[in-house]
Amino acid sequence: MEKSERVGTYIRPSTERQNDQHQRDSINQYIDKQNLPCDRIEQYVDIESGSNDEREQFNDLLDGIRNDEFDHVIVWEISRISRRGATLLEFFDACEEHGVTIHITDGAVGKVKPDGTGRFVADIVGMVYQHERRQLIRRVKAGVKRAKDQGKWVGNVPAGFRRDDDGYLQPVVEPDDGEDSYFELVDAIERLEDGGSYRSVAKSLSISRQGLTNIHKDPGRKRWYLDGESDDDRVATALSEVNSQDS
């Protein structure tokens, strides 16, 4: 590469918990070997899932490619670009159409050139990532279904309840800081039924006014607190503990 050529780099750790330093180090080492001046490099960084196509920095980079602002793009690995086949295809096509060479510092293919060199292998790698993503989605869905079949609670825990160590829903009897007990929610819903305002009732709770409103306006969920009943077996099992204490 000539020193006058324009370079963009793209880094994407999958979550905020992941450190992107290894990607930066790999790219910086690659740049040093190519003898590229750092003041001619545009850096783009997203902290998003590779299945999310609404990444701001990625789309800015893609716009730059389409506006002929780059001659080279450097990434640590193809999966950093995307794990979606259609997005990878779009990215590769844009680089090919606008004369941009893609440099992969850690992967089965080192470069994807505008003349098609390296594209075949890159497409295969992209297909592998897409297959892995589909497999992961299947495993997650299977795990969720298995947990539900076992009566375990999956997802956000409803107000006044907590999930025990085995994954089962339990009513909160002695709340920790930031929690509302099941009985506090019962009292709150009863006050609303008696004409209390959402604002005044919510003041004494950790739950937001909107959260309280959502419960009160949902007939099925309101039954959990007013009648101690639910059509959801997981909730009904949890409520049986409360009902047994009242009997």
Q: pLDDT tens, 71-81? A: 999 999 888 88
pLDDT at 44 over 90: yes
Distance CA 92, CA 102 (A): 8
Report yes or no: 27 and 74 within 8 Å, Cβ to Cβ: yes
- Here the tokens at position 244 are 């047994």
Q: Across 16-25, 43-52, 149-158, which has the greatest mean pLDDT?
A: 149-158
When comparing pLDDT for 54 and 234, which is higher? 234
Q: How confident is the model at residue 94 (pLDDT cuts 50, 70, 90)?
A: very high
Q: Report pLDDT for 18.
A: 61
Mean of pLDDT over the chain: 85
Q: Report pLDDT for 59.
A: 93
H-type alpha helices, 106-228:
119-149, 182-193, 198-202, 209-216, 219-226
- Please identify which residue in the block is written with the tokens 């049986």: 240
- Please identify which residue in the block is written with the tokens 């890159």: 122
- No. of helices (H) and no. of strands (E), the chain: 10, 7
Domain at 7-130: CATH code: 3.40.50.1390
Q: Report pLDDT for 160.
A: 92
Residue (of 109, 103, 115) closest to 41 by Cα position: 103
Render pLDDT for 109-136 as a digit per residue (tens, 0 to 9). Answer: 889 999 989 888 888 777 777 767 677 6
Distance CA 65, CA 68 (A): 5
pLDDT at 139 over 90: no
When comparing pLDDT for 27 and 39, which is higher? 27
- Here the tokens at position 60 are 């800015």
Residue (of 77, 91, 95, 116) closest to 7 by Cα position: 95
Amino acid at 60: D
The one-character DSSP state at 40 is: G
Distance CA 202, CA 192 (A): 10
Q: What value does the mean pLDDT take over residues 45-65?
A: 84
Who contacts 101 (Cβ-Cβ below 8 Å, separation ≥6)?
Answer: 71, 72, 73, 95, 111, 112, 113, 114
Report yes or no: 130 and 123 within 8 Å, Cβ to Cβ: no
Render pLDDT for 10-38 as a digit per residue (tens, 0 to 9). Answer: 999 876 556 688 899 999 889 888 876 66
Q: How far is CA 181 from CA 3, 72, 107, in A?
A: 65, 58, 52
pTM for the full model? 0.53
pLDDT at 247 over 50: no
When comparing pLDDT for 134 and 138, which is higher? 138
Distance CA 65, CA 59 (A): 10
